[in-house]
Amino acid sequence: MKLTPMMQQYLQIKSQYKDAILLFRLGDFYEAFFEDAYTVSKALDLVLTQRQGAPMAGVPYHALNSYLKRLVQLGYKVAICEQMEDPATAKGLVKRQVTRIVTPGTLVEDELLESDSNNYLAVVLKDQEKYHVAAVDVSTGDSLVACFNDLESVFDFLNSIKATQILCDPSLKSTFQSVFNVLVEPLQDWHLNPHGMEQDVAKVFNVVTIDHLELKENLKAFAALVRYLRYTMMVENLMLKPPKIIRDERFVILDSTTVEHLNLIEPKGKSLFDVLNYTKTSMGSRLLKSWILQPLRDQKEITSRLDKVQAFVEDQILLSELREYLHTVKDLHRIASRLRYGKATPKDLVALRTTLEVCPQIQQLLLTNDAFLEAENLDCLTDLCEELAKALEDEPSNVIGEGKVIRQGYDKEFDELKDLVYNSEKFLAEYEQRERVLTNIPNLRVGYNSVFGYYIEVTKSHLSKVPPHYIRRQTLVNAERFVTEELKQFEEKMLHAKELLEKKEKELFDSLCQKALEKVDKIIAIADFIANIDALQSLAYAANLNKYTRPKFSNDGKLVLVKSRHPIAEKFTENFVPNDLTLSNQESFVILTGPNMSGKSTFVRQVGLIALMAQIGSFVPAEEAVLPIFDRIFVKMGVRDDIIGGKSTFLTEMNEIAKIIYQATKDSLVLLDEVGRGTSTFDGISIAWAISEYLHTKIKCKCIFATHFTELTELANLYDGIVNKTIQVMEQGSQVIFLHKVVDGVADKSYGIDVAAIAGIPAEIVQRAREVLDVIASKSELEDRLKVVSTERLRKIGRKKVNPNQTTLW
Ligand SMILES: Nc1ncnc2c1ncn2[C@@H]1O[C@H](COP(=O)(O)OP(=O)(O)OP(=O)(O)O)[C@@H](O)[C@H]1O
């Protein structure tokens, strides 16, 4: 088969983008051919047809974004090939070129992005024994770098930022692919070429040296990311904020198990984020989410947030007025980004104008409260705002060039052109009227024909009144036709008016974008400021609504919670029962036993959530809360299968515990629920026992261990710092009433069979279970044996009880 020049052009371009789907612009369509056509038609449910014998699937150009969204969501990389000249005027084959490679992690268009989530593209590099991670959200400019000692921590970090695309060492590709359900690509040599790395990064921030960024060993990962972005987005100037260095000392690094078990972000509608999210802007909501996923460790930083939250809590008028203003604030981070990448739309400039209009009001309002004096430094860009107000229609069309974007009165030439295009009839009628009066020819008529263009027609009877500047064009039986200079100019203008109008409006729009671009750093400063204020006011609003208290921080390890509640569960539970808890460095370990359904898991998570809320600067659900600042919070709940990773339930559980044991310190909060349940009872208890002893005596962290193994309560007899708590239940006749109250002591029964009955297990089975329980319960010697374990150990060290601070058992 002989290929047409267009097909040859296609194949030549495709050969450069083998790893992407190539969407090739042909008139009003983007078309995919060969293999790409099969992929696209299957993924997008499009009809597969043929063009010049090649399989083809196409999408209309105006609907590109909606199709792109689906392709990218499915993890494809798409190269967009545009026509670089107008097919109507092109000589020969239209020039075509790939102008952008769209990947899940390089999106900037609003329609392709989730408004309340960041969209991070991450690079992971292995260097000797360390892993370096750099991540960028090009839609907001947010960037991060971090360094980890093990791959598990990298997974946790990528999970916590919800990376939508990963670039990694080729050796790590299959590992990442098995863990993450996102596009994973291997880095190439040119991404990592050491030559010119610093210069490449310096260019992004328009600086000569990058020492101040403190990228150090993370430079390579960040530079690789910059190079990848330049290549895919095909722009020289990236809009990135200086990378935030994620250091263990500054943030509480949360592992993915903890994020999941504390329901920090999911499930939707029942997460901590949902409980705290009363933000009014997408910027604020993204920031709040990142705060929840990266709690702080620096007391000063936390206090500074808490002071502002408190100021809002106490100033209800300020809060409600501010919320009204914030309502009109648009997503400036993403608008700034689109301005940088030349993708801003009229809608974006209007959104910028609306936000800048409300900015001074927000500033003035905040300045009424001493807690927000820094608002004074905010530059509200009034000049730019005025310019946009003058230049843009109230509700401009999103199509530039039809004269419906720029406001009348902004540019004389534009107005004339628009007038010509839209008001030519009117102009001609006015002109005709004017000439009739001037010449005193009542039946003078302005007309048009395709041969002579516009003309003035005068009947023979009035020819004597024709002024000298009329130029004769045509003679008819009863009349003569003339033109004038003015009419000729009008005609000239009319012929090109549409084209000129399109050009002029584009020019004016581009110049507005340019003016905004010149102020982009200030736009970002406003965006950062408003995002921060919005996230803080959201915390205050939630605090008022849910009657939270400001937490205090202790420096001696003391933790006191009075009448504390679970922030999510209390929303869905009638009469939620508040609970107290006191821990200290001396009494730091709780074995929590209690029947099924009594509320053990709820209480354990509650403590974790309150600690986390305090460290993001939020008020907490309690009447009083004093907490130490934790360096890590670990939550390990129940057993779960890791089918994808191919690990058994018990192996997964032990893996997660091992991680906690390696990473926890004396300043950590470890919350365990049902650990050891994935194996036989004896193995499970023994493991749980040994883990508890290790955590308490070696690591000395704060720990609550909820368990059905009442046998573990024996540990409290062995160690000073371990206390037993249980959750109260009342029996009324054959009924069990769950009081959900945490008290000192040990659960006497598990009520598992009662719960089974409530859950609808047939009475016959329930009855049989009771009979079996009677028999096995009387035969259990386990507790007696565990007593032997503890007495033996006590005998060994010659004490009545062990104080882990004085004795080393290991
Ligand atoms: N403090 C509380 N006040 C009111 N209701 C509560 C409280 N705590 C828990 N509940 C209710 O009890 C139910 C069971 O709680 P949870 O799952 O925490 O119990 P559990 O002891 O961990 O159960 P299991 O041992 O079966 O896992 C929850 O769904 C909730 O509705």
Instruction: Give CATH for domain 5-102.
Output: 3.40.1170.10
pTM: 0.79
DSSP string, 361-429: HHHHHHTTSGGGGGGGG----HHHHHHHHHHB-SS--SSTTSS-SBPTTS-HHHHHHHHHHHHHHHHHH
Question: Residue 75's pLDDT is what?
Answer: 86
Instruction: Give CATH for domain 412-511.
Output: 1.10.1420.10
CATH C-level class of 277-381+519-546: mainly alpha
Question: Residue 643's pLDDT is what?
Answer: 41
CB 804 near ligand 1, within 6 Å: no
Give dist(CA 152, CA 4) in Å, integer.
53
Question: Residue 39's pLDDT is what?
Answer: 93
Question: Residue 786's pLDDT is what?
Answer: 62
Question: Residue 638's pLDDT is what?
Answer: 67
- Residue nearest to ligand 1 atom 15, measured at CA: 599
Express each pLDDT in 379-392 by its tens digit.
999 999 999 999 99
Q: Give the distance (Å) from ligand 1 centre to CA of residue 593.
A: 12
Q: Give the position, in ligand 1's atom list, of the atom nearest the Cα of 566.
A: 1
Question: Residue 776's pLDDT is what?
Answer: 63
Question: Residue 92's pLDDT is what?
Answer: 82
Strand order in the sheet with 471-475: 445-449, 453-459, 479-483, 471-475
CB 740 near ligand 1, within 6 Å: yes
CB 576 near ligand 1, within 6 Å: yes
CB 578 near ligand 1, within 6 Å: no
CB 593 near ligand 1, within 6 Å: no
Q: Give the distance (Å) from ligand 1 centre to CA of residue 791.
A: 34
Nearest to 276 by CA among 632, 73, 542, 57: 542
Nearest to 13 by CA among 97, 115, 116, 105: 97
Give dist(CA 567, CA 602) in Å, integer.
10
Pocket test for ligand 1, best of 565, 579, 597, 729 (most atoms within 8 A of CB): 597
Asked, colleague to colleague, whether 412-511 and 552-748+780-797 share their fold, the answer is no
Q: Is 595 annotated as a binding residue?
A: yes
Express each pLDDT in 207-243 by its tens digit.
888 888 888 888 999 999 999 999 998 887 888 888 8
Low-confidence ranges of the chain (pLDDT < 70): 1, 248, 638-648, 677-681, 734, 749-752, 759, 775-810
CATH 3.40.50.720 fits 113-246, yes or no: no
CATH C-level class of 552-748+780-797: alpha beta
Question: Residue 644's pLDDT is what?
Answer: 43
The 8-class DSSP code of residue 267 comes to S
Give dist(CA 204, CA 201) in Å, integer.
5
Q: What are the residue ranges spanned by the domains of the chain? A: 5-102, 113-246, 277-381+519-546, 412-511, 552-748+780-797
